Amino acid sequence: MGEKKIAIIGGTGDLGFGLALRWARAGVQVIIGSRDESKAKDAATRVRETLKGHAPAESEEFSISGLENAQAAAQASVVVLAVPISAQVAVLKSIRGSLEGAILVDTTVPLAAALGGKPTRMLGVWQGSAAAQAREFVPAATPVLAAFHNVSAEALQDLSVTPECDILVCGDDEAAKQILFPLVKLIPGLRPIDAGPLEMSRIVETITAVLISVNRRYRVHHAGIRITGLDLKP
Ligand SMILES: NC(=O)c1ccc[n+]([C@@H]2O[C@H](COP(=O)([O-])OP(=O)(O)OC[C@H]3O[C@@H](n4cnc5c(N)ncnc54)[C@H](OP(=O)(O)O)[C@@H]3O)[C@@H](O)[C@H]2O)c1
């Protein structure tokens, strides 16, 4: 897994930072992207500081750095987009020239909260889903997957917690899924599930609104989902 470089666009934010922490801890080379390079570097320093004392024996050295979004994307084979829906198109336009040879993993949930609305309501996206919208704004040769919508960023950021959640991965490129699945498995508690083509993301994205509603009712922050009835190899 050492050769895979993951850029996390918006890795200064809640979800991106949580993923950066977990992957860096697992020994993956992670580049945090931001609109502001110094903010990205600060976040990389925070990852290093947070991981002090959490190194698995076999990987004492963490590979974590910070760059401006497009520069981060240009260096990675897997580019994770972790920005609010309100910023998704602008950020994709800023990195689409840097995606050659990479796969894009879109995590965007079109929650009304991104525009000041309720966090349990979805925005309508003309293309059907945020991931389908992402598909339109990157080169046709770039495989687009949708994933990580249903995992709690708070759980990812708290290293004392195992974020129990299935990661429903949607996409039309099987080879890209085979690249992402082992990366998901590197994070304890997460299990990748092939949820079908990219158009299924329309449903997967909405599950997040349900989980936010459940979190509120049960006064928790880490609600996730599990698919039952599957006989999967570890
Ligand atoms: N939070 C969760 O638990 C969670 C779980 C699953 C999925 N998601 C989805 O993951 C995505 C990221 O969520 P988040 O909670 O991590 O978001 P966030 O913390 O609000 O923002 C993430 C990053 O996006 C960049 N950003 C914010 N506003 C921007 C703008 N107007 N233009 C360009 N970039 C902007 C910022 O990076 P820079 O300022 O450094 O550029 C920010 O640190 C969202 O689509 C969300 O729905 C979130």
Q: What is the pLDDT of residues 153-166, one digit of tens each?
A: 999 999 999 999 99
CATH number assigned to the domain comprising residue 137: 3.40.50.720
* Residues spanned by the domain of 137: 5-218
pLDDT in tens, 121-134: 999 999 999 999 99
Q: Which atom in ligand 1 lies closest to the alpha carbon of residue 130?
A: 45
Query: Domains in the chain: how many in total?
Result: 1
Q: What is the pLDDT of residue 1?
A: 43
- 48 domain residue, yes or no: yes
Nearest CA-CA partner of 152 in 224, 80, 226: 224
Q: Are 51 and 21 in contact (CB under 8 A)?
A: yes
| Distance between CA atoms of residues 147 and 159, nearest Å | 21
Q: How far apart are CA 152 and CA 216, in angstroms?
A: 13
Quote the pLDDT of residue 56.
Answer: 59
Atom of ligand 1 nearest to the CA of 43: 40
| All residues at 6 or more sequence positions from 74 whose CB lies less than 8 Å from its CB, including other chains | 98
Give the C-alpha separation, 95 to 76, whole Å: 12
Stretch 89-115: mean pLDDT = 97
Say which residues have a Cβ less than 8 Å from residue 48's Cβ, sequence separation at least 6: 62, 64
Give residue ranges with CB within 6 A of ligand 1: 10, 12-16, 34-36, 39, 82-87, 90-91, 107-109, 111, 148-149, 151-153, 208
| More confident position, 57 or 74 | 74
Instruction: Compute, in angstroms, the gap from residue 10 CA to the centroid of ligand 1.
Output: 6
Residue 224 inside a domain? The answer is no
Q: Domain for residue 125, yes or no?
A: yes
Distance 83 CA to ligand 1 centre (A): 3
User: Does the pLDDT of residue 112 top 60, yes or no?
Assistant: yes
Whether 226 is in a domain gets the answer no
56 found inside a domain: yes
Q: Is 128 a domain residue?
A: yes
Asked, for residue 233, whether it belongs to a domain, the answer is no
Closest atom of ligand 1 to CA, residue 40: 40
The helix or strand, by DSSP H or E, that contains position 71, with its residue range, turns out to be helix 69-74
Minimum-distance ligand 1 atom for the alpha carbon of 108 = 45
